[in-house]
A and B are shown apart, each in its own frame.
Chain A
Amino acid sequence: MFSTRWRKVVRDLWSNRTRTTLVVASIAVGIFAVGTVQLLRSVILSELEVIYTASNVSQATIITAGVDQAQLDAIARMPEIADVQGRSSLGVKVQTAPDQWENLAVTAIDDFEDIRINRIQPIFDLPAKPEVGAERTLWPQENEIVIERSGFSSATALPPGLQVGQTLTLQNRDDKQREVVLSGVVYDPNGFSAGFTGQASGYVDFDTFERLGGSRMYDQVLIRVNGSPEQQLDQEYITAIANRVSDKIERGGFTVQRVQVPEPGKLALQDLFDALALLLTPLGLLALILSGFLVINTISALMSQQVRQIGVMKAVGAKRYQLVGMYLSSVLAYSLAALVIAVPLTVLAGGGIAAFLGTFINIDFPRWTLPGYVFAIQLLVGLLTPLLAALLPVFRGTALTVREAVSDYGTNAEQVRDGLLTRLINSIRGLPRPVQLSLRNTFRRRSRLALTLVTLVLGGMLFMTVGSVRASLNGLIEQGLAYYQFDVQIQFERPYRTERVEQVVRGLPGVATVEGWLGAQVTPILPDGSDGDSLTLTALQPDSVMVQPTLTAGRWLLPEDENAIVVSQNVLSSQPDLQPGDKMLLKIGQKEVEFVVVGIARVLGGPPNTIPVYVNYPYFARLTADVNRSASLQIKLDPASGLGMEDAAKILNERLDNAGYNVASTFTIDTLRRFTGAFFDIIVYLLLAMGVLIAAVGALGLAGTMSTNVLERTREIGVMRAIGASDGSVLKIVIVEGLFIGLISWGLGALMAFPVGALLAQTVGVVLFQSALPYVFSAEGLLIWLLIVVVLATLASFLPAWKASRLTVREVLAYQ
């Protein structure tokens, strides 16, 4: 059974339910914010780690024009190679409706029972699987195919309602139609979701692959290397081995197109999640600290209201440590209640956000999980922060002597000073007396006002700032997309005569301009003679109207440039000291050619793990003997024609195909815009969610302050009512005070939003793109927050105001 003093603690909490609810809610928001960020980070990174390990990701992939099994066997015998496997891929079309064909990436695998690198797995081992009418996955035999599960989440990538056992009609590059039976559904974690890219992928054996127009040679060599655990994480070490493998392949008479060595141990999108954690962790902590401010306010108010009770308890024998214990126990009770609310919410929201992020990258993050250390963090911060926040007010409140406490001039008696602000308010002419009273009331409890304002200002500032970060990210997308002045890009399997392919394209009404480019995968030779990361070279017309690059250093290509090269900023991650004027030796096919770096450009988009570089077409065409040929066509549409980019790409693909040109891929700026927009939205939404949480803490703080203010002034309100103030007047006086605080916070927040927004935009830019974002200040955010703060302030003060207006004069004057 509780002893009497603990019963008092419980009754005090219960008898002040509004205050208890507000402070519990605000602590819960803080615990939730910190916990959710940690949960996301933990769940995402640990799951990626599990997947990384389970799928045994290839440490290096060598893209070739085709190697045979004997070559793979030779590579496998290299002492530094732990394992090697070959695969081959090609693009085909899948019939999704009578006249509807969609792209389908098909990969050939030798032995499905023995996939050792980049493993795929049957979906029936997974918690989330599409409804495909089968209980298990059968590995594909001849004329069978298994499809990656995310294809089923795309509305258009596959025939609607596709079930295992049904036949798919595929069309290969020679326009020959082949039928394959869907034998099962698999999960391949190494890639983007088809729901996101709009293109499904499938896996077949080499017999089926040949029927689809593929070759028995392997165009991808996947390798795992031998070495110590440190070496396994050393990119230079792995690159060196991959280069030796590449050299061996070339010595065997095969052509290597490029070598891909992803950063070892780094999981797909880990940079993004690290960046998000970097941004969200301090914001979560901020929410927690602000909720700590509310605890300070609440406990200060509580101590102030209980001064007499403290005096009486001391008079009847309570020692200070007993009182400190009682009030800190109240805080502990707040914390425990907040934990009870916040922890399940964290699991719910953290799992939900992870699941949402997972849809982009085709990963099922565990939905209902709370890692022990995340719970421990929540427990620690949830218990400690409020206790630390309450220490000062509790120690101060219990330090009062009985005489001070039971006399009328303890801390309960408020000092109303005739300060500058009061005089300023008094000097405003024509202000109605009740409004003047509201304004003066606002500044009566200055330390409480300060803490309330800090929470509201920071919450509002962050909210307004996120608007600017979003605008800046959009600005970045637009700036990045501005590089692409064309609407549709068509890439060919090999270069064709520009004049001929252009003729086909120009035949489509609505096509305004066409420009042919060349491209290649090239390898830089570093000063020490080793190979650097493979670069994606684009050779464009010197007077190209199809690009409008954004340069961060140097200049763009000039028509008279010969061996000039512009590199994208991505180069800087491996060669941070590179600057205009430096020389760059590139291996193009069998030739080594020296270029001079003339500029560094910011480029958005492009396939992952590629580093674009740009050179002049005439010079490059002479180097590769492809003069007057194009490996890709850039097409600008006439906006007046009404021809959509996706439609144009589809029609041109068909026409070129019909004319006998092998199209490797088509790409539209609309797709890029959608892709990058959705990607950036993840960041914005998470920042916004954090802004909303912090704003919620601010609103709770304001509600707490207003209810405390009203409680403390109950007697004063009674006197006002006794001398004729109506319900409406009392209501108005309180609401105007709340609104006034809200508006002050908005003003201060708006003033800070500009510089802080710039700082946040810079941080987001540096973390994600190695350079500051072009800062765009969003005035829209200011207006939205103004509206929100007015509504919040009105709501936060309405309840206490309404309560105050309901009190009878008798009740109020009897209030002790």
Chain B
Amino acid sequence: MLRIPFLQKNDRTSGKAQQASGHSLINLNNVVKSYKTPAGEFQALKNIDLQIEAGEFVAVVGKSGSGKSTLSNMITGIDRPSQGEVVVAGTEVHKLREGQIAGWRGRNIGVVFQFFQLLPTLTVIENVMLPMDFCNMYSSRERKTRALHLLELVDMVDQADKLPTALSGGQQQRVAIARSLSNDPAIIVADEPTGNLDSRTADAIFHLFERLVEDGKTIVMVTHDEDLAKSVSRAVTIADGEIASDIKHRERLLPAPQHQAVQRAAGKKQPVAHPHLPLPGALGLGAAAAD
């Protein structure tokens, strides 16, 4: 199996955080989240219990307003529970102060948004380097090398010096994924990462996620696309703030020949391969790069 050497290989069964806590990589215990609204108190999450193991690719599915984004926000520390516990990679996230959360998140979780949210005045490579800068990870030379490698991974290295406004939606999302990998987090949380993309580009992004899971990353992807949810190892359905179903599928393996076929069909030139890197084309991104 191809692997991404500059990304830490995360052991699916013996992650160090898990070892430390003796629990799952992500633990939500009896989590309640309520908001005050003009119409009264609204419970977005009701007594959620959810455990996600290292290396899982979990889709959180639900209709608009069901609470799925709130759930992902609990994991990333973007929002705090009104009740209950959120323990991620051994850290009791609900107990962290606001000032501590950002640093913790920057090191441990890669966040991918629906609308990409690249910073418009920074070039593609600078957007990827930004989390390393904020978290003070790697030397400045390493940051650049690493960002280039990540961009190569998502087949965006040719666009490294462009501003985000010069890119298509799919390209921007790939840069956003590269950015989420900047500090080599064990967990990627993506909120509707394909919601704003055409189906072909969405497919390419999805396969990139699959590739990352194969390399040991744990991915939690919020989506309203039930078909997409069927393609992952586990699908958690949220309805009215409660877990309506939690289905584990068989472990999916990358159907490499199919992706090589996609690449051939697009007639895309092979990018220069890093000796230890998977070819971006092999991730099924060649066709999407043209969008």
Is chain B found bound to chain A in the same assembly?
Answer: yes
Interface residues of A (CB under 8 A from B): 1, 3-5, 7-8, 11-12, 15, 308-309, 311-322, 401-403, 406, 816
Question: Residue B117 contacts which of A1, A321, A322, A406 (CB distance < 8 angstroms)?
Answer: A406
Tell whether, in the assembled complex, residue A7 and residue B140 are in contact, meaning their CB atoms are under 8 Å apart: no
Tell whether, in the assembled complex, residue A4 and residue B76 are in contact, meaning their CB atoms are under 8 Å apart: no
The distance from the CB of B138 to the nearest CB of chain A, in whole angstroms, is 11
Tell whether, in the assembled complex, residue A320 and residue B99 are in contact, meaning their CB atoms are under 8 Å apart: yes
- The 0/1 profile, CB within 8 Å of A marked 1, for residues 180-216 of chain B is 1011000000000000000000000000000000000
Q: Is the CB of B105 closer than 8 A to any CB of chain A?
A: yes
Q: Give chain A residues whose Cβ lies under 8 Å from the Cβ of B182.
A: 316
Question: Residue A4 contacts which of B113, B120, B126 (CB distance < 8 angstroms)?
Answer: B126
Query: Which 6 pairs of residues, A with B, have the shortest CB-CB distance?
Result: A317-B106, A11-B121, A316-B131, A402-B78, A317-B134, A312-B117
The distance from the CB of B111 to the nearest CB of chain A, in whole angstroms, is 5
Q: Give chain A residues whose Cβ lies under 8 Å from the Cβ of B118.
A: 312
Q: Give chain A residues whose Cβ lies under 8 Å from the Cβ of B120.
A: 15, 309
Q: Give chain B residues whose Cβ lies under 8 Å from the Cβ of A5.
A: 130, 133-134
Tell whether, in the assembled complex, residue B78 and residue A403 are in contact, meaning their CB atoms are under 8 Å apart: yes
The distance from the CB of A714 to the nearest CB of chain B, in whole angstroms, is 14
Q: Which residue of B lies closest to A10 (CB)?
A: B121
Tell whether, in the assembled complex, residue A318 and residue B134 are in contact, meaning their CB atoms are under 8 Å apart: yes
Tell whether, in the assembled complex, residue A403 and residue B79 are in contact, meaning their CB atoms are under 8 Å apart: yes
- For this complex, 13 residue pairs linking A to B, each with C-beta atoms less than 8 Å apart, are A3-B140, A309-B119, A312-B113, A313-B134, A315-B113, A316-B130, A316-B134, A316-B179, A320-B102, A321-B99, A401-B98, A403-B78, A406-B78
Q: Give chain B residues whose Cβ lies under 8 Å from the Cβ of A321.
A: 99
Q: Give chain B residues whose Cβ lies under 8 Å from the Cβ of A314.
A: 102
Question: Residue A312 contacts which of B98, B103, B107, B119 (CB distance < 8 angstroms)?
Answer: B119
Question: Residue B140 contacts which of A1, A308, A319, A403 (CB distance < 8 angstroms)?
Answer: A1
Cα separation A689 to B135 with both chains bound (whole Å): 50
Tell whether, in the assembled complex, residue A319 and residue B117 are in contact, meaning their CB atoms are under 8 Å apart: no
Tell whether, in the assembled complex, residue A315 and residue B76 are in contact, meaning their CB atoms are under 8 Å apart: yes
Question: Residue A317 contacts which of B78, B79, B103 (CB distance < 8 angstroms)?
Answer: B103
Tell whether, in the assembled complex, residue B98 and residue A320 are in contact, meaning their CB atoms are under 8 Å apart: yes
Tell whether, in the assembled complex, residue A315 and residue B134 are in contact, meaning their CB atoms are under 8 Å apart: no
Interface residues of B (CB under 8 A from A): 73, 76, 78-79, 98-99, 102-103, 105-107, 111, 113, 115, 117-122, 126, 129-135, 140, 143, 179-180, 182-183
Tell whether, in the assembled complex, residue B79 and residue A318 are in contact, meaning their CB atoms are under 8 Å apart: no
Cα separation A507 to B31 with both chains bound (whole Å): 114
Known: A3-B140, A403-B73. A319 touches B113 (CB 8 A): no
Cα separation A71 to B193 with both chains bound (whole Å): 106
Known: A315-B76, A320-B98, A403-B78. A3 touches B113 (CB 8 A): no
Tell whether, in the assembled complex, residue A11 and residue B122 are in contact, meaning their CB atoms are under 8 Å apart: yes
Known: A5-B134, A308-B117. A317 touches B122 (CB 8 A): no
Known: A11-B121, A15-B121. A317 touches B129 (CB 8 A): no
Known: A316-B179, A317-B107. A322 touches B134 (CB 8 A): yes
Q: Give chain B residues whose Cβ lies under 8 Å from the Cβ of A402.
A: 73, 76, 78
Q: Give chain A residues whose Cβ lies under 8 Å from the Cβ of B99.
A: 319-321
Q: Which residue of A lies closest to B114 (CB)?
A: A406
Cα separation A319 to B98 with both chains bound (whole Å): 9
Question: Residue A315 contacts which of B78, B115, B126, B140 (CB distance < 8 angstroms)?
Answer: B78
Question: Residue A8 contacts which of B76, B121, B180 (CB distance < 8 angstroms)?
Answer: B121
Q: Which residue of A lies closest to B131 (CB)?
A: A316
Question: Residue B78 contacts which of A8, A318, A401, A816 (CB distance < 8 angstroms)?
Answer: A401
Cα separation A11 to B119 with both chains bound (whole Å): 11
Q: Give chain B residues whose Cβ lies under 8 Å from the Cβ of A317.
A: 102-103, 105-107, 131, 134-135, 183
Q: Which residue of B lies closest to A306 (CB)?
A: B119
Q: Give chain A residues whose Cβ lies under 8 Å from the Cβ of B129.
A: 4
Q: Give chain B residues whose Cβ lies under 8 Å from the Cβ of A311.
A: 117
The distance from the CB of B181 to the nearest CB of chain A, in whole angstroms, is 11
Q: Give chain B residues whose Cβ lies under 8 Å from the Cβ of A313.
A: 119, 130, 134
The distance from the CB of A121 to the nearest CB of chain B, in whole angstroms, is 61
Q: Give chain B residues whose Cβ lies under 8 Å from the Cβ of A316.
A: 105-106, 111, 130-131, 134, 179-180, 182
Tell whether, in the assembled complex, residue B103 and residue A401 are in contact, meaning their CB atoms are under 8 Å apart: no
Q: Give chain A residues whose Cβ lies under 8 Å from the Cβ of B121.
A: 8, 11-12, 15
Cα separation A78 to B78 with both chains bound (whole Å): 90
The distance from the CB of B151 to the nearest CB of chain A, in whole angstroms, is 14
Tell whether, in the assembled complex, residue B119 and residue A315 are in contact, meaning their CB atoms are under 8 Å apart: no
Cα separation A15 to B164 with both chains bound (whole Å): 14
Cα separation A12 to B119 with both chains bound (whole Å): 10
The distance from the CB of B142 to the nearest CB of chain A, in whole angstroms, is 13
The distance from the CB of A403 to the nearest CB of chain B, in whole angstroms, is 5
Q: Give chain B residues whose Cβ lies under 8 Å from the Cβ of A4.
A: 122, 126, 129-130, 132-133, 143
Best-buried of A308, A315, A322 by chain B (most CB within 10 Å): A315
Q: Which residue of B lies closest to A16 (CB)?
A: B121
Q: Which residue of A lies closest to B179 (CB)?
A: A316
Q: Give chain A residues whose Cβ lies under 8 Å from the Cβ of B106.
A: 316-318
The distance from the CB of A737 to the nearest CB of chain B, in whole angstroms, is 27
The distance from the CB of B93 to the nearest CB of chain A, in whole angstroms, is 13
Q: Which residue of A lies closest to B147 (CB)?
A: A4
Q: Give chain B residues whose Cβ lies under 8 Å from the Cβ of A401.
A: 78-79, 98
Best-buried of A1, A312, A316, A322 by chain B (most CB within 10 Å): A316
Q: Give chain B residues whose Cβ lies under 8 Å from the Cβ of A406.
A: 78, 113, 117
Cα separation A764 to B119 with both chains bound (whole Å): 54
Q: Which residue of A lies closest to B117 (CB)?
A: A312
Q: Give chain B residues whose Cβ lies under 8 Å from the Cβ of A308.
A: 117
Tell whether, in the assembled complex, residue B119 and residue A7 are in contact, meaning their CB atoms are under 8 Å apart: no
Cα separation A425 to B102 with both chains bound (whole Å): 46
Cα separation A311 to B119 with both chains bound (whole Å): 11
Known: A11-B121, A402-B78. A315 touches B111 (CB 8 A): yes
Tell whether, in the assembled complex, residue A8 and residue B103 are in contact, meaning their CB atoms are under 8 Å apart: no
The distance from the CB of B243 to the nearest CB of chain A, in whole angstroms, is 21
Cα separation A661 to B100 with both chains bound (whole Å): 98
Q: Which residue of A lies closest to B116 (CB)?
A: A312
Q: Which residue of A lies closest to B76 (CB)?
A: A315
Cα separation A136 to B126 with both chains bound (whole Å): 68
Q: Which residue of B lies closest to A15 (CB)?
A: B121
Cα separation A401 to B179 with both chains bound (whole Å): 20
Tell whether, in the assembled complex, residue A319 and residue B119 are in contact, meaning their CB atoms are under 8 Å apart: no
Q: Which residue of A lies closest to B129 (CB)?
A: A4
With A5-B130, A316-B134 given, can you name 6 additional A-B contacts, CB distance below 8 Å?
Answer: A4-B132, A312-B118, A315-B76, A317-B183, A401-B98, A406-B117
Q: Give chain A residues whose Cβ lies under 8 Å from the Cβ of B126.
A: 4, 7-8
The distance from the CB of B75 to the nearest CB of chain A, in whole angstroms, is 12
Q: Give chain A residues whose Cβ lies under 8 Å from the Cβ of B134.
A: 5, 313, 316-319, 322
Q: Which residue of A lies closest to B125 (CB)?
A: A4
The distance from the CB of B64 to the nearest CB of chain A, in whole angstroms, is 13
Cα separation A1 to B78 with both chains bound (whole Å): 32
Best-buried of A309, A317, A318, A403 by chain B (most CB within 10 Å): A317
Tell whether, in the assembled complex, residue A7 and residue B98 are in contact, meaning their CB atoms are under 8 Å apart: no
The distance from the CB of A418 to the nearest CB of chain B, in whole angstroms, is 16
Q: Give chain B residues whose Cβ lies under 8 Å from the Cβ of A12.
A: 121
Tell whether, in the assembled complex, residue B119 and residue A8 are in contact, meaning their CB atoms are under 8 Å apart: yes
